[in-house]
């Protein structure tokens, strides 16, 4: 509710839709929560736990009759689940089930949850259950739950076609509507755990685009997992020096640097520079741009003397082989900033 209130301070209309897209949820569901939270509590009905707690249809099954469980209401008007064959004496509490499942998702597969500035509550995490769970089996009580995780993402001609269309749409929307693009990419990566998923060209493409959007929206820690998968997958599908692999490697390095993992970023930039020397040549613009980025990471690590030396050499080479290229001016500005930083901190280096 606080996120909706904050969004309304920015613009009067569309706050519910904006928050729904950020959380990858149905706007109607968010509107229902807002309506219930802002309505005055009724004297004959408790106001607590008034949010929607039903999980995606078809996931829950009864351990006794093996049939899907359907929506039902408890005696106090709370939401619940009951077997179609009515093999249970009373419905089970939907809120308790959602809480248990949401906590399991947050513990085992937190990467599938869209990034937000506040911790995701379990009942929100449970709305993503269909992305990583193939089946949820309910026993005698709401806590007696067995989860069947998806071993691998669902694939097939029809599924792959839909995923490809979602990725293409997300790429088209990335500039003008990044939040909607983010939702499409999360949907296209349903069931995909970036830590364990096998190499797949469509998933690698979607993961790279998702990481780019997460970086743009200010979530570098979430981008690392998808950038890592995109890099690993493209290397397996092509080769370490293939153009797509090099693009994924650069994205991987950028994600770590944005997240403050400067040591890891340094090694990735060094690796990228070595590959570009082999494929593009030591004086190519991309190679020199990577050397400049490596120098900036060295400065982030506190090695300002080494950073200044590398950046100065790179500027000299860049000016010689790419005269009048605008990147030379940007590199020079970075070098000036490093010099000023050293002067401000009172550093005394031996280089000139």
Confirm whether 351 is domain-assigned.
no
Q: Does residue 197 share a domain with residue 96? A: no
Phi, psi of 229 (to 5 degrees): -65, -45
Q: Does residue 320 share a domain with residue 265? A: yes
CATH of the domain at 213: 1.25.40.10
The residue among 121, 151, 181 that closes a domain is 151
Return the closest-CA partner of residue 21 out of 209, 181, 176: 181
Q: Does residue 333 share a domain with residue 239? A: yes
Angle between helices 243-258 and 262-279 (to 10 degrees): 160
Confirm whether 139 is domain-assigned.
yes
Q: Residue 233: how many CB atoms within 10 A of its CB?
A: 25
Q: Does residue 267 share a domain with residue 187? A: yes
Q: Is the pLDDT of residue 10 over 60?
A: no
Q: Are strands 79-83 and 92-93 parallel, antiparallel or unpaired?
A: antiparallel
Sequence-ordered list of residues with C-beta below 8 angstroms from that of 168, at least 6 positions apart, any chain: none
Q: Does residue 30 share a domain with residue 137? A: no
How many CA atoms are closer than 13 Å to the CA of 303, on its beta-carbon side? 14
**Tell me: the pLDDT tens digits for 242-254?**
999 999 999 999 9
Q: Does residue 21 share a domain with residue 79? A: no
Q: Does residue 258 share a domain with residue 135? A: no
**Tell me: the pLDDT tens digits for 291-309?**
999 999 999 999 999 999 9
Number of folded domains that form the chain:
3
Confirm whether 138 is domain-assigned.
yes
pLDDT for the residue numbered 131: 76
Q: Does residue 257 share a domain with residue 332? A: yes
Q: Does residue 140 share a domain with residue 72? A: yes
Confirm whether 352 is domain-assigned.
no
3-state SS record for 87-153: CCCCCEEHHHHHHHHHHHHHHHCHHHCCCCCCCCCHHHHHHHHHHHEEEEEECCCCCCEEEEECCCC
- pLDDT category at 270 given cuts 50, 70, 90 is very high
Asked if 224 contacts 259 with a C-beta cutoff of 8 angstroms, the reply is yes
The position carrying tokens 């709370």 is: 78
**Tell me: the pLDDT tens digits for 183-231?**
899 888 877 888 888 899 999 999 999 999 999 999 999 999 999 999 9
Confirm whether 350 is domain-assigned.
no
Structural domain harbouring 9: 1-40
Sequence-ordered list of residues with C-beta below 8 angstroms from that of 254, at least 6 positions apart, any chain: 215, 227, 265
pLDDT for the residue numbered 45: 36
Q: Does residue 336 share a domain with residue 276? A: yes
Q: How many helices, marked H, and strands, marked E, lie in the chain?
A: 15, 6
Q: Does residue 315 share a domain with residue 167? A: yes
The residue among 151, 179, 205 that closes a domain is 151
Asked if 152 contacts 198 with a C-beta cutoff of 8 angstroms, the reply is yes
Confirm whether 262 is domain-assigned.
yes
| Whole-structure pTM value | 0.65
pLDDT for the residue numbered 48: 37
Q: Does residue 230 share a domain with residue 321? A: yes
Mean pLDDT computed over every residue of the chain? 84
Q: How far apart are CA 140 and CA 213, in angstroms?
A: 43
């Amino acid at each position: 509710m606080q996120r909706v209130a904050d969004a309304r301070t920015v613009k009067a209309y569309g706050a519910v839709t904006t928050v729904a897209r950020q959380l990858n949820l149905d706007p109607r569901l968010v509107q229902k929560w807002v309506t219930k939270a802002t309505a005055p509590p009724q004297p004959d009905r408790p106001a607590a736990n008034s949010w929607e707690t039903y999980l995606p249809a078809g996931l829950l099954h009864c351990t006794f009759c093996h049939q899907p469980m359907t929506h039902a209401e408890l005696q106090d008007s709370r939401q619940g689940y009951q077997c179609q064959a009515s093999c249970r004496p009373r419905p089970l509490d939907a809120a308790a089930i959602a809480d248990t499942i949401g906590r399991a998702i947050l513990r085992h597969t937190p990467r599938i949850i869209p990034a937000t500035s506040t911790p995701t509550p379990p009942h929100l995490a449970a709305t993503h259950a269909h992305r990583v769970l193939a089946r949820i089996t309910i026993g005698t009580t709401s806590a007696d739950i067995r989860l069947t995780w998806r071993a691998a993402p669902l694939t097939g001609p029809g599924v792959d076609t839909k995923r490809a269309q979602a990725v293409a749409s997300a790429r088209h929307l990335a500039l003008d509507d990044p939040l909607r693009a983010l939702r499409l990419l999360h949907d296209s990566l349903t069931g995909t755990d970036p830590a364990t998923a096998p190499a797949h060209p469509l998933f690698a493409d979607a993961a790279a685009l998702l990481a780019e959007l997460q970086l743009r929206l200010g979530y570098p820690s979430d981008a690392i997992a998808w950038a890592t998968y995109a890099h690993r997958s493209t290397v397996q599908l092509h080769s370490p020096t293939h153009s797509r692999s090099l693009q994924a490697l650069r994205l991987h390095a950028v994600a770590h640097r944005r997240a403050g993992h400067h040591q890891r970023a340094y090694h990735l930039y060094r690796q990228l520079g070595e590959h570009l020397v082999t494929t593009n040549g030591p004086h190519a613009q991309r190679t020199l741009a990577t050397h400049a980025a490596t120098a900036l990471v060295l400065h982030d690590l506190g090695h300002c003397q080494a950073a200044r030396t590398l950046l100065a050499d790179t500027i000299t080479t860049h000016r010689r082989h790419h005269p009048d290229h605008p990147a030379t001016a940007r590199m020079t500005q970075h070098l000036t900033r490093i010099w000023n930083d050293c002067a401000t901190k009172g550093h005394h280096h031996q280089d000139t």
